[in-house]
Amino acid sequence: MDDDDDAENHETGNTLGRIARILDVPAASFFAPEPSPTSEGTGAAATAEELAQALAVMRLFLRLKSSQARARCVSFITQELVRDSPSIDLAPDD
């Protein structure tokens, strides 16, 4: 393994750590053989496909340079969440 591989692994680990904090899950859950229950306490587990989709969205989101573009993405996802689950509480977890 050379220095480029080490740097890439370090960056990947940092990115997964940030994603884990955003999703409020342990970073180890990305490597677990069985998906862990979500932090919502619903007992629903994220599938491998859902985790892959979330990771793809996060990778693309992190590549956006414009804060306005990121705000549009958050707004779109929020609108879709409300459409999909009208009773969901969108208040921040302070």
Which residue is it, tokens 């180890």? 28
CA dihedral 68, 72, 77, 83 (to 10 degrees): 150
pLDDT tens over the chain, length 94 residues: 566 667 666 677 777 788 877 777 777 777 756 544 544 444 456 788 888 888 888 889 989 999 999 999 989 988 988 898 888 777 765 5
The DSSP code for 45 is B
Comparing CA positions, the residue from 60, 83, 84 lying closest to residue 72 is 60
Structural domain boundaries in the chain: 3-84
